């Protein structure tokens, strides 16, 4: 519990606090990336009923956004159609990718649906499979699967969340494998899937 309290405090400090309009835009981006893999500012404007200039301002202000050469959003806070990791998400027959293991636990809650997750143990290469519902992990194999989390300096997170945080957040087949990998890296924590799910509800 102490570890998750510590992680929760850190995440509350560094995660952006969204206002009502920003939450609406964020949800529409997640839904679009899950369905089609990309979304333009023009379409976001139509779906949110916000002015294009306001949508552009919101999207541009987010650090966890990736856009293509046309300016369309192709990655957003943990979800993308581009193969950026070994964390594969099956969403309504579509293949998507999470930036890190933790994303696999909270994205189903945002989408409001169950997601099939395929990944591997970062230490041993053992296949890991989950079915994550909006409020629970329904299935997991191996049953002993855990994940690593990192507490980077807050400024590093704000400057580049992917390299300072996501690249250190992985699934492991069990606590032993996770602790072995984490022991040689600074700021690491090992938590259960349920603890990761709880942190994702923040």
Tell me: pLDDT of 21 over 60: yes
65-81 per-position pLDDT tens digit? 999 999 999 999 999 99
Domains of the chain: which residue ranges? 2-13+85-200, 17-79
Tell me: pLDDT of 19 over 80: yes
Determine the pLDDT at residue 127: 98
Long-range pairs for 79-84 at CB < 8 Å and ≥24 separation? 79/30, 79/33, 79/34, 79/103, 79/107, 80/33, 80/37, 81/33, 81/37, 81/38
Arch. (CATH architecture) of 17-79: Orthogonal Bundle (1.10)
121-176 per-position pLDDT tens digit? 999 999 999 999 999 999 999 999 999 999 998 899 888 999 999 999 999 999 99
Which pLDDT band, with edges at 50, 70 and 90, does 5 fall under?
confident
CATH class of the region 2-13+85-200: alpha beta
* Burial zone of 117 (CB within 10 Å; 0-12 exposed, 13-18 middle, 19+ buried): buried
* Cβ proximity of 72 and 38 under 8 Å: yes
Q: In what order do the strands lie in the sheet with 171-172?
A: 171-172, 146-150, 188-192
pTM reported for the whole predicted model: 0.93
């Amino acid at each position: 519990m102490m570890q998750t309290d510590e992680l929760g405090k850190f995440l509350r400090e560094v995660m952006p606090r969204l206002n009502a309009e920003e939450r609406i835009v964020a949800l529409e981006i997640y839904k679009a990336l899950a369905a089609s893999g990309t979304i333009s500012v023009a379409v976001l404007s139509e779906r949110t009923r916000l002015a294009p200039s306001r949508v552009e301002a919101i999207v541009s202000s987010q650090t966890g956004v990736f856009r293509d050469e046309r300016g369309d959003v192709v990655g957003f806070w943990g979800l993308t159609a581009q193969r950026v990791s070994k964390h594969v998400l099956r969403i309504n027959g579509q293949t998507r990718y999470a930036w890190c293991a933790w994303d696999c636990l909270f994205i189903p809650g945002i989408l409001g649906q169950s997601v099939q997750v395929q990944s591997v143990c970062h230490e041993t290469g053992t296949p890991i499979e989950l079915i994550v519902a909006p409020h629970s992990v329904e299935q997991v194999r191996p049953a002993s699967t855990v994940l690593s989390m990192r507490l980077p300096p807050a400024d590093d997170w704000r400057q580049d969340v992917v390299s300072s945080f996501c690249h250190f957040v992985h699934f492991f087949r069990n606590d032993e494998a996770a602790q072995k990998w984490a022991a040689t890296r600074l700021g690491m924590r090992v938590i259960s899937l349920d603890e990761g799910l709880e942190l994702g509800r923040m």
